[in-house]
Structure 1
Amino acid sequence: MRGYFWLAVGLAVLGFLACHAGRIWVDAGQRGFGLARRLGWALLGAVAPSRYWWGARIEALSPYEQADLLARETAALGLSRADNLHCPLCSTEVSHAWALTPDSCPTVAPGPVQCPRCDFRLDSCRHCVHFLPGTPQTWGGFHWGSGDVTFGRCNRYKALRSVEQVCPPEVAHQLKARGYEQVRAPLPIVDSFLPPDFCTAFKPERRRLRASGIRWPNARRVALLRLLASPPAPETAPPEELPSDDEQWLL
């Protein structure tokens, strides 16, 4: 019986993959793909269908079809632009939240990326890879904080601080005995929603964004961002109507 069970599971998986491959095979043929390209995308699409539907297929669309797809998918997301974001706190639309890197990978747009209603910031310290939440548990250790992300330190920028503020009492006493009154330490962040004005090193971390209720752009959203960044299709004037026989006689 166990053998029949695994046989049924295998057939179900093969059927599922064949369904994906078949849909891509048919659609690629309608888009004018050659036999070799159709076969290649059908095989790849069986295990990674988004590579075709939100990649090769979009590139095969005409500029007008791409514009129509961008408009429909953006409306389906409930947004006015594909690079916008619904604020996780108040659901207000945040403008120009996402961007693409030079190699077409998604990232947070240059800041400030801020909600106009509740001041939520996508490019805040708590969403950055350089942020160390809470207070250090041990001097020189790698375990930071108690899980409180409302404040912390920036591991990218350093500042001079007194040894009493940074070090345990015994270490601070030894440093002062050697003539050290201050040491360079990670910059304190009082409010993790307010990055320093001079900061230009923000780098988003997906895990921290997910903890704030923000979904990282998937293949669908990345495709829409690429369409949004591409130049619009040139507008063509409508064709002139030919004069009727009576009008030609008058001319």
Structure 2
Amino acid sequence: MAMDDVAARGLVLLGCGKMGSALLKGWLAGGLPPGVIHVIEPRPSDWLRGTGVALNGPLPDAPAVALVAVKPQMMGEALPAMTALGGGRTLVLSIAAGTPLSAFEAAFGAGTPVVRAMPNTPAAIGRGITAIVGNSETTKPQMALAESLLAAVGEVVRLEAESQMDAVTAVSGSGPAYVFHLIEALATAAETEGLSPDLALRLARATVGGAGALAQETGTDPAQLRRDVTSPNGTTQAGLEVLMAELPDLVRRTVRAAAARSEELGRA
């Protein structure tokens, strides 16, 4: 199964909010014909109306993929529109946070291949990372297809077990918010040192964004990058002596709290 199977049989996208829109933009940019994409979205944007996709119309009998991109709290209302696609011929791909594979197996019925995915918000600019895991009905070609579809918005990694999804949620799913807060905190500290709010925010935003890009694009161990910029007895060392005394434990507790909440949501 490959992307040409999607072009031949179609793809159903349930929900076209921020993440659904990011995926759709990536697929269209990658050359997937808009006419083979069937979108179910009760409040379509003007942009969506202008894409040429099949919007809120009849669904194909056995599309290659049915992608669920609605919020978990809307799942009960939205899923009935798609459950007839269960049974084996259509791959169900979910990016709904906190909703386990078992919930989709129950909704779509026995024999349904299901892939659960956790993307993150940098997908909006094609710099996301998505973790995926499939159920026992999912074939290797279907996993490859899910990976190809999600690669439209960034990197994709495969998990060994669904139990790892809570940690992924806590690190990469929730992680952008931690980084945004770091930018806020760094900018506030810069203001305290006498910089204007605009300059403080500009410096903080560019520093965090540039450092992250350097770490990702070079592939260098971040510990080595840290050492490279830290001169003995210099300004960076003075700052790190404060930060490294508290940050590692704070981050551990932050990730644990998010993972614990993800575990709770999965049991709800």
Bucket of the pairwise TM-score, normalised by the shorter protein: under 0.3
Larger Rg: 1
Scaled by the length of structure 2, the TM-score of the pair is 0.24
More helix per residue: 2
